Structure 1
Amino acid sequence: MAHWPEATTILKLIEAADTIMIHRHVRPDPDALGSQLGLKRIIERAYPDKHVYVVGGIARDLEFLGKMQHVEPEMYDEALVLVLDTANHERIDGPYALKGKTVVKIDHHPDEDEYATHQIVDTTVSSTSEIVAELARIWGLAIDEQSAFLLFAGIVGDTGRFQFRNATPHTFEIAADLISYGIDTNRLYRQMYKTNLATLQLQGYVLQNVQVTEAGVGYVKIDADVLRTFHATPEAASLLVNSFSGLEGLKCWVMFVENKDEIRVRIRSKGPVINEVAKRYRGGGHPMAAGATIDTWEEMDDVIAALEEVAAPFEFENEES
């Protein structure tokens, strides 16, 4: 069982609060939504008289997980705010999160912004959804099929269906426990990984246009013209970041996706630590998975060069690639 000294304090805050606002990061992924909606379900079942709200923008591709709620600024005056899966306060989805009476941060990203009054941050855990599942155990709060489905979705998303190195024995233990509640994993995989023809064709473009440097850095550029050609959104394009992850000789890779007046940078790695590179470009994340933002295509070459610096000296053990 995890050792989080703040766990007891946070449970007492939940028990004392009448209104609880649960936030997560902008452009949510399955872990952000799964942990947010899963925790809401757990709290509401344990304390049916409390007013629990999930706040943030709409994630069209993940609407099957649940919907967000409308809130007003004055509702935060006496509220407990729980912010999940969000390393930096700038990435919190919702303008009022830090206006709550008490703010709690629960996250698995490196702790570089202590924006909350209380926090549980554990970078050894695969996902925030895994943290929430473990907290439910510690707190003695019941999980049901619906909350198990949501938390399992979050774990699946952040572990790449248990393929990534962050899937630990404890992750599998938690996942097995969640499955025991009778969740339909086949339905989850169908909904999480379904695609349409336009996205599939865009994936073909990605595979045809990926480039790999001598240092083992893969990269692909998706500008506004490409998005228009394939009738794709920046969100849909960004989800294709792992399309070429199995490419031989690849150490780390990056996808650049134009989005209005900025360019999203999604970085992944098989070994070289890449989150320090992301920090240089208004970003951050995990050592093996990070994101950043640049303003011009001229900066793309700078990002690639920075990744080459960390990739070139890296060597796989047993010549793994």
Structure 2
Amino acid sequence: MKRQIIDTIEQYDTIIIHRHVRPDPDAYGSQFGLKELIQANYPEKAVYAVGEHDPSLTFLAMPDRITDELFDGALVIVTDTANTERVDDERYTSGDRLIKIDHHPNDDAYGDLIWVDTGASSVSEMIYELYEEGRDYKEWTFSDAAARLLFAGIVGDTGRFLFSSSTVKTFETAAQLIQYNFNRNEVFDGMYEMEPHLLQLQGYFYQYFQMDEHGAASLKITKEVLQEYGVTASETSLLVGSLGSVKGICAWVIFIEEGDTIRVRLRSKGPVINGLAKKYNGGGHPLASGASASSWQEAEQIVKELQELCKNY
């Protein structure tokens, strides 16, 4: 499949790369890392990375703004996006051919070419694997800029290599990437430094989360709380892992009220939670998933189901 993707890339003069809404470092890392990789080896091609920008990821890159006409006859690649509902920028269907590169369960097998590896720590890791194939197949070269982006993506999706998704291959890939010329400290600062108002909200997390005797924890963040601390709903993504340091915790859910919906962020230290996420218009990885709830009553039902998962684990 990797060689098919490489051959397809070679066939198109215009390539447009998408990723998922509400992006994280792996979404940006894989998307912009792939853009850098293609541009380094095919400087004559026009390569764009599109989607709504998340200000917290400005340290990594800025998306391109392009017209609808550029999609005519273009190759479209979507990275790190399990299902079509989560693709950022609905124009992804407007190109000539579509490639899906992802590491989530392939429940929505969209695209003309599909490369899904659920054993990969991140799609950024997969993009480096694509480079290795291109190096052997087409004498591809690699760049410092691509290394920086892919390293950030891997670090983000592995929780600084703490998650069980970090494999021997993950560490080998990271070892290759850090040989390139980029400032790792700047990457870590961009990913993990927080403004004081976010740290204050983190204190709220620790003060008000609730956990039952089986280690199932939950926390509700209303619009009023967000307003009180001056935090946007998207900024709270930096805090989701905070409860993982609580001794005895099994799995946790954080509800973030945003407009007329409630974001649901699920994390686990053992029980598989992506099945629960799928029941509520979401999905993701076995131990890290997202969903949405239509009301606080539905949120309570999610808590009960999470408690059952921990009870039976």
Tell me if both proteins adopt one fold, taking TM over 0.5 as the criterion. yes
Letter in 1 for 2:262: I
CA positional deviation for 1:144: 1.3
Q: Normalized against structure 1, the TM-score is what? A: 0.95
SS class of match (1:15): helix
**Paired AA for residue 71 in structure 2:** Y
Q: CA deviation at 1:183?
A: 2.2
- Unmatched 5+ residue regions in structure 1? 1-5, 315-321
Contact 2:240 2:254 (C-alpha < 8 Å) held by counterparts: yes
Read off the aligned partner of 1:245 and give its amino acid letter.
G
Secondary structure in 1 matching 2:207: helix
C-alpha separation in 2, matches of 1:294 and 1:121: 28
| In 1: Cα distance, 2:17 partner to 2:32 partner | 8
Unaligned runs of 5+ in 2: none
**SS at 1:241 equivalent:** helix
TM-score (norm 2): 0.97
- What is residue 218 of structure 1 aligned with on the other side? 217
2:58 matched residue in structure 1 = 63
Separation in 1, partners of 2:191, 2:241: 15
Alignment of structure 1 residues 212-251 onto 2, 5 Å: 212-251=211-250
More helix by share: 2
Amino acid corresponding to residue 241 of structure 2 in structure 1: N
Provide the secondary structure at the position in 1 that maps to 2:245.
coil
Q: Are the equivalent residues in 1 in contact too, given 2:144–2:180 (CA < 8 A)? A: yes
> C-alpha separation between the residues in 1 aligned to 2:189 and 2:33?
20
Contact 2:71 2:95 in 1 (8 A): yes
Deviation, 1:32, is 0.2
Instruction: Give CA-to-partner distance per residue, 1:278-304, whole Å, 9 cap, x none.
Output: 000000000000000011111111001
In the TM superposition, what is the alpha-carbon distance from 1:309 to its structure 2 partner? 1.8
Give the letter aligned to residue 6 of structure 2.
L
- Is 2:29 the partner of 1:34? yes
Measure how far apart 1:178 and its partner are. 0.2
For 1:87, the equivalent position in structure 2 comes to 82
Do 1:133 and 1:174's aligned partners in 2 also have CA atoms closer than 8 Å? yes
Counterpart for residue 257 of structure 1: 256
| Aligned equivalent of 2:284 | 285
C-alpha distance after superposition, 1:150-187 (max 9, x if no partner): 00000000000000000000000000000011221111
Q: Deviations over 1:33-72 (max 9, x none)?
A: 0010011011001001100000100110011111111122
CA contact (8 A) 1:238 1:255 kept: no
> When the two structures are aligned, how many residues end up with a matched partner?
309
- Residue 108 (1) aligns with residue 103 (2): yes
Match of 1:96 in 2: 91
Per-residue deviation, residues 82-137 of structure 1 (Å, max 9, x unmatched) = 00000000100001101211000000000011110001100000000000011100
- After superposition, the C-alpha distances for 1:244-272 in whole angstroms (9 at most, x for unaligned) are 21212111011100111111000000010
Does the 8 Å contact 2:148/2:177 carry over to 1?
Answer: yes
Partners in 2 of 1:30 and 1:207 — Cα distance?
A: 24
What is the identity, as a one-letter code, of the residue corresponding to 1:185?
R
Q: Say whether the 8 Å CA contact 1:238–1:257 is kept in structure 2.
A: no
Answer yes or no: is the 8 Å Cα contact 1:58–1:67 preserved in 2: yes
Task: Find the aligned partners of 2:304 and 2:92 in 1 and give their Cα distance.
Answer: 37
SS of residue paired to 1:64: coil
2:127 is equivalent to residue 132 of structure 1: yes
Q: Supply the distance in 1 between the matched residues of 2:99 and 2:158 (Cα, whole angstroms).
A: 24
Report the counterpart of residue 203 of structure 1 in structure 2.
Answer: 202
- More displaced stretch, 172-181 vs 238-247: 238-247
| Counterpart residue type for residue 113 of structure 1 | D
Following the alignment from structure 1 to structure 2, what is the Cα–Cα distance between the partners of residues 302 and 138?
Answer: 46
Tell me, yes or no, if the aligned pair for 1:108 and 1:128 is still in contact at 8 Å. yes
1:238 Cα deviation after fit: 2.7
Is the Cα–Cα contact under 8 Å of residues 40 and 143 in structure 2 kept in the other structure? Answer: no
Q: Residue in 2 aligned with 1:272?
A: 271
Q: After the TM superposition, which residues 124-163 of structure 1 pair with which residues of structure 2 at under 5 Å, given as runs?
A: 124-140=119-135, 141-163=140-162
Within 5 Å, give how 1:1-40 maps onto structure 2. 6-40=1-35
Please, what is the CA RMSD of the aligned residues? 0.8
Secondary structure, in 3 states, of the residue corresponding to 2:257? strand
Q: Is 2:82–2:104's contact at 8 Å kept on the other side of the alignment?
A: yes
What residue is the counterpart of 1:122 in the other structure? Answer: 117
Shift of the alpha carbon at 1:311?
A: 1.2
Name the residue aligned to 1:317: none
Q: Give 4+ residue runs of structure 1 displaced > 4 Å after superposition.
A: none
Aligned to 1:3: none
Distance 2:114 2:262 in 1: 31
Equivalent position of 1:319 in the other structure: none
Amino acid at match of 1:162: F
